[in-house]
Structure 1
Amino acid sequence: MDRLITLHSTLFDGIERSFSALIPLLARLIFAATLLVYFWNSALTKLGDGVFGFLRASSNAYAQIFPRALEAVGYDASQLSLFHWAVVTAGMWAEFLLPLLIVVGLFTRLASLGMIGFVVVQSLTDLYGHGGIAHDGTLGAWFDRAPDSLILDQRAFWVFLLAILVIRGGGALSLDRILSRQILGHATPT
């Protein structure tokens, strides 16, 4: 039995050491393959008209982020406060910039932490702002036989993927690693 445990440890410790930098790279690849276009398409629905649409979000953006506040002012976003504008504009920019930073591996930990916060706010808005909490199945449940609830199941995977990047950084082939070597003159541990 000792030999089996030693063989197991030797084999898998070697695999872990050899491929540890690939885990964050694979996490970034999976993020790009599954969530990048989702978030960018969502951000595109928030852009206002014209060249400066990135500064003046569409009314759709307010409907997505502040549905009850927009309804309270008769769906006239110009009646909302500077606070609403700042949150909607920052949310729109975050949906473009944070996923891009994750994919290229620049400030990966901070971008991933920002995306976790974004997903939490998005989930709370879906549940309480849009009334999803009142509909059976939207929230879902853990430890049940259905692995496809919109909030608890799906977004737990998103947050787990992002948590790997918060903990491990960008990994191999990231701008974080390249800049660390160029600026600091050494390789980062991840």
Structure 2
Amino acid sequence: MNTLITVHNQIFERVERLDGLLPLLARFLFAAILLPYFWASAATKLGDGLFGFLFPASGAYAQIFPKAFEAANYNTDNLGVFHWVVVVAGTWAEFLLPLMIVLGLATRLAALGMIGFITVQSLTDLYGHGGIAHEGTLGAWFDRAPDALILDQRAFWIFLLVLLVIKGAGLLSVDRALFRLGPWAPANA
């Protein structure tokens, strides 16, 4: 039995040394699964023309402020500067934060930003779009059904991001290159 425990410890001590691999895999999964989702969503918010990133489509207001947009008779001119700032910032965040995570650039801050983004997105889906009234949208944990849109699916998304907040970008990242090559790098790096 001691031999088995010793072999186990030796194997998994080596595995633990691959600490930078876990965040790299998390970023890969984010790129493979969530990057296309968020970019496709952000693309629906862009307005027409070269400056569409500054003048969002009306659908962007419907997605982000569904009740306020309805109250404004679906006319963006009836909404204020606050609504425009939030929609534009949200659209930019939906493009930039996922890109930063994939590149491993300011990964911890980008992951925190995405956690906030997903939280606001989930609350908007539940309360702004009325998803809370539909039994399957929120879902429940420990219910044998792993496909609820909010509690199940987005818990996995946030877990992936929490891992990046705690561990950083891992191997093959801009963060790692900057840390090792920048003037702030330790002398022995």
Global fold match (TM > 0.5): yes
- SS of residue in 1 equivalent to 2:85: helix
1:10 matched to 2:13: no
Q: What amino acid sits opposite 2:153 in the alignment?
A: Q
Aligned to 2:48: 49
Structure 2 length normalisation: TM-score?
A: 0.95
Distance 2:77 2:103 in 1: 36
- SS of residue in 1 equivalent to 2:89: helix
Deviation above 2 Å: which 4+ runs of structure 1? 1-7, 184-187
- RMSD over aligned CA atoms reads 1.4
Q: How many residues are treated as equivalent by the alignment?
A: 187
1:101 matched to 2:106: no
User: Following superposition of structure 1 onto structure 2, how do residues 70-149 of structure 1 map, counting pairs within 5 Å?
Assistant: 70-149=69-148
Aligned to 1:162: 161
Distance 1:15 1:182 in 2: 27
Offset, 1:172: 0.3
Offset, 1:137: 0.5
Distance 2:181 2:11 in 1: 34
Report the identity percentage: 68
Unpaired segments of 5 or more residues in structure 2?
none
Listed one character per residue, the Cα deviations across residues 104-163 of structure 1 (whole Å, up to 9, x for unaligned) are 000000000000000000000000000000011000010011001100000000000011
Distance 2:72 2:178 in 1: 48
Unpaired segments of 5 or more residues in structure 1?
none
- SS of residue in 2 equivalent to 1:165: helix
Aligned to 2:64: 65
Offset, 1:88: 0.6
Offset, 1:186: 4.3
Q: What amino acid sits opposite 2:15 in the alignment?
A: I
